[in-house]
A and B are shown apart, each in its own frame.
Chain A
Amino acid sequence: MRTLTEDQRNLLKTHLSKTYIEYVELYDEIYDHYASAYEQGENDFESVLNNLDEQFTKEYINDNKTKLSKNIYKKVLALYKKEAIAFLLWPQIIISVLAVAIIMFLVYLLPYSTFLYYVLIPAMLLSLFPYLYFSIQIHRKLILPLNLKSASYEATNKIGSVVVIAFNFLNFISIIVRDNTSDSNNPYILGVSVLLFGWYSVITLKVFKQRIKHQLA
C-alpha cells in the first residue's frame, strides 16, 4: 500500500487550508478521507485531489459547519453529564464522599484567611493549568499553521463559563448570608462552591482526554 510522502502531506494541508473548513473536527475527517483515497486507491495524487474536491465543495463545508458545531456541543454536554453522574456511582462515590468530607472539614476548621490562601487560591490555580495548557497548545497546533477552531474546545469553554458564573454566584451568596459576628463566610456555600469547581476541573480533564487531546497530536 502506498503512503503519503512528506511533500504530499504538506501539499494536502496547503490544499485544504484554501477551502472554507473552520473546525478541526471536519478538517481531520476530510484530510483522512483524501489521504486514504490516495493510499488505498490507484489514482495519482492530483486526480485524488480533483475528484474529491468535487465532493467536498464550499456548499458542503458551509452546510456542515453549523450542524457540526451544534452536534459537538450536544456531545460534549452529554459527556459532562455522564462524567458528573459517574461521581455519584460506585466506586467513584467513595472518592466523592471523601472529597466532600475533607473540604467541609477544612472550611469549618480553618479560619477564612488560611482557607483562602492555602486551599481556595491553590485550587483555583490548579484548575487554571488545564485551561492555559489547552489555550497555548490549541493556538500552537491549530490556529497558527491551519487557522482552525476546535468545536469541542469551544463547547468546553461554553460549559466552563456557566460553571464559573455558578461559582461566583455561590460565593456572592456566601458573602450576603455571612454572619456579621463571625469573620468567616457561610461554610456550606463556600464548601459547595469549591466542590463544584473541583468537580468541574476533574471532569474537564477527562473531556479533554477524550475529545481534544488527539486534535493536538
Chain B
Amino acid sequence: MYKRKLYICNMSNQNLIKGSLSTIVLHLLSENSEMYGYEITQKVKDLTKNDIKITEGALYPTLHKLEAEGLLTTESRIVDNRVRKYYRLTENGTKETAHKMAELEEFLGNLQKIFNMKLNPGI
C-alpha cells in the first residue's frame, strides 16, 4: 500500500525518479560528506524547487539497502536530546557513485542524441 505513495512529483516523472533514487542519494552524500534522512528529503526539495519530493517511504528503504550493500556507513549521535543517524559514503560507495554518475551521464547523452534536445535550456 505504501509503495503507491513512494514519490510525490508535480509531473508524471515517478518512473524516472524511481530508477535514479540510489544515484540521487549517493550523489548528495558525495557532495555533503554526511547527511541524515530528513536533510536528504529537504535537499532534494530545495534543489528542484519543490518539483521533486522524495518521500520517507522511499528514502529510508533505499538508505538501508545501500547500507546493507556496504556503500554507506552510519554513525548515530545525540542531537537535541535525541539520536540522529548520519549516513556517509564508504570507500566502495565513493567508487560506486563515480560509476553511477558516469552511467547517468552516458544515458543522458544518449537521450539528448535521440531527442535532439538541450538539457540546460536556461544556460
- A71 partner, pick from B36, B39, B68, beta carbons under 8 A: B68
**In the complex with contacts A29-B85, A32-B37, A59-B1, A214-B64 CB distance below 8 A:** no
Binds B, one of A35-43, A112-120, A131-139, A193-201: A35-43
Decide: A3 near B80, CB < 8 A? Known: A32-B37, A55-B5.
Answer: yes
* Number of residue pairs spanning A and B whose beta carbons lie under 8 angstroms apart: 69
Pick the residue among A9, A37, A57, A215 that contacts B1 (CB under 8 A): A57
Contact in complex: B64, A71 (CB < 8 Å): yes
| Residue B107 is within 8 A (CB to CB) of chain A in the complex | no
Knowing A29-B85, A214-B78 are in contact, say whether A55-B68 is a contact too (CB < 8 A): no
Asked if A29 and B42 sit within 8 Å, CB to CB, the answer is: no
Provide the bound-state CA to CA distance between A136 and B79, in Å: 24
Of B20-28, B52-60, B114-122, the segment with at least 4 beta carbons within 8 Å of chain A is B52-60
Known: A36-B38, A54-B5, A64-B64. A28 touches B56 (CB 8 A): no
Say whether B83 faces chain A, with CB atoms less than 8 Å apart. yes
In contact, B42 and A40 (Cβ under 8 angstroms)? yes
Instruction: Say how far A54's CB is from chain B's closest CB, in angstroms.
Output: 7
Is A169 part of the contact surface with B, judged by Cβ < 8 Å? Answer: no
Task: Choose among B76, B78, B84 the residue with the greatest number of A CB atoms under 10 Å from its CB.
Answer: B76
* Contact across chains for A215 and B55 when beta carbons are under 8 A apart: no
With beta carbons under 8 angstroms apart, the residue of A28, A36, A54, A67 that contacts B64 is A67
Among residues of B, the one whose C-beta sits closest to the C-beta of A56 is B56
Interface range, B side: 20 to 34
Q: Which residue of B lies closest to A36 (CB)?
A: B38
A52 touches B56 (CB 8 A): yes
Could you mark each residue 27-67 of chain B with 1 if its beta carbon is under 8 Å from any beta carbon of chain A, else 0?
Answer: 00000000011110010000000000001110011001001
Contact (A64, B60) CB under 8 Å given A28-B83, A29-B37: yes
| Cα–Cα, bound, A121→B107 (Å) | 65
Interface check A125, CB cutoff 8 A = no
- Judge whether A33 and B2 touch: CB under 8 Å: no
Question: With A56-B56, A64-B61, A71-B68 in contact, is A33–B38 under 8 Å at CB?
Answer: yes
Listed A/B pairs (16) with beta-carbon separation below 8 Å = A4-B80, A31-B83, A32-B84, A35-B80, A36-B39, A40-B38, A54-B5, A57-B2, A59-B2, A63-B61, A67-B61, A71-B68, A214-B76, A214-B77, A214-B78, A217-B83
Residues of A within 8 A of B (CB): 3-4, 9, 28-29, 31-33, 35-37, 39-40, 52, 54-57, 59-60, 63-64, 67-68, 71, 74-75, 214-215, 217
Give 13 A-B pairs besides A36-B38, A71-B67 with Cβ atoms closer than 8 angstroms.
A9-B81, A28-B83, A32-B38, A32-B79, A40-B38, A55-B56, A56-B56, A59-B1, A63-B61, A64-B64, A67-B61, A67-B68, A217-B83
